[in-house]
Amino acid sequence: MGNTAVQQMLYLLNQAFDASGEHALLSNLNSVKDDEWRWLPAGGGRSIFDIVQHIGECKYIYDSHAFGDGSMRWDRPGSFPTIDEKTTPAQ
pLDDT per residue as tens digits for the range 51-89? 999 998 998 999 999 889 999 999 998 999 988 888 887
46 and 70 belong to one structural domain: yes
18 and 3 belong to one structural domain: yes
- The per-residue pLDDT for 81 is 92
Asked if pLDDT for residue 40 goes beyond 80, the answer is: yes
Q: What is the pTM of this model?
A: 0.77
CB 39 within 8 A of CB 47: yes
Average pLDDT for residues 29-38, to the nearest whole number? 91
Burial class (CB in 10 A: 0-12, 13-18, 19+), 16: middle
The number of folded domains in the chain is 2
How high does pLDDT run on average in the chain? 88
Asked if pLDDT for residue 1 goes beyond 70, the answer is: no
61 and 83 belong to one structural domain: yes
Q: Which domain holds residue 69?
A: 33-91
69 and 45 belong to one structural domain: yes
45 and 16 belong to one structural domain: no
